[in-house]
Amino acid sequence: MKPVKKDRQQLLVQTIGANPFVTDEELAEQFSVSVQTIRLDRMELGIPELRERIKHVAEQHVDNEVKSLPVDDVIGDIIDIQLDKSAISIFDVKSEHTFTRNSIVRGHHLFAQANSLAVAVIDDEVALTVKADIHFTRPVKAGERVVAKAKVRERAKGDKRTFVEVESFAAGEICFRGIFEMYRSSH
């Protein structure tokens, strides 16, 4: 049974509070209402749309941390970062990111998300990609959300190279994997 409006709105506030990255579509499915109803509830409650919530979280947690490039230069939205350890970004695929014939995302967008995340996770003023070994494992379509997860794997002592592994997922399935060899200006 669907909750009444007042109860639904209270649950909506709790759900978004617990997971600010939940989409209107996911909320509509969870509460068995239309996406438009969720949008109206959000507007009535003063809850911003997903993109604004992501930006707010990113500004709180990322702006003061990323050293190697401006956060605006990262493809996708960084939602978590621990310099020289790990980072996570999300990228919502829109039709302008895809081939018009089949709505499959152009590979350079997936690469750009992963590569910019590999640069951002480096705790240095200068981080550049030296080499990348990449694999596309599944096509991604317009409307899907890509979650990229970067992990710093290796850093040779005294060397200015760091290896970062990035795996990207769409609908819980891996769609991209890459090992990025990164140059850093200091060791």
Has this prediction a pTM greater than 0.75? no
Please tell me the predicted confidence (pLDDT) of residue 51.
77
Strands (E), the chain: 77-82, 86-92, 127-136, 145-155, 161-170, 173-184
Per-residue pLDDT band at 91 (split at 50, 70, 90): very high
Burial of 8 (0-12, 13-18, 19+ CB in 10 A): buried
Give the start-to-end residue ranges of the domains of the chain.
Answer: 5-47, 59-184
Q: What pLDDT is stored for residue 160 in this prediction?
A: 82
Give 156's pLDDT tier (boundaries 50, 70, 90). Answer: low
User: In this model, does residue 1 exceed pLDDT 70?
Assistant: no
Side-chain half-sphere CA neighbours of 13 within 13 A: 9
Q: Which CATH architecture has domain 5-47?
A: Orthogonal Bundle (1.10)
Helix ranges (H only) for 24-127 are 24-31, 35-45, 50-61, 107-120
Query: What tokens were used for 100?
Result: 């018009």
pLDDT > 90 fraction of the chain, expressed in percent and rounded: 55
The reply to whether CATH 3.10.129.10 applies to domain 59-184 is yes
The answer on pLDDT for 151 being more than 90 is: yes
Residue 50 — pLDDT band, cuts 50, 70, 90?
confident
CB 16 within 8 A of CB 53: yes
Domains 5-47 and 59-184 share a fold: no
Give percent above pLDDT 70 in the chain: 90
Euclidean distance between CA atoms 102 and 141, whole angstroms = 8
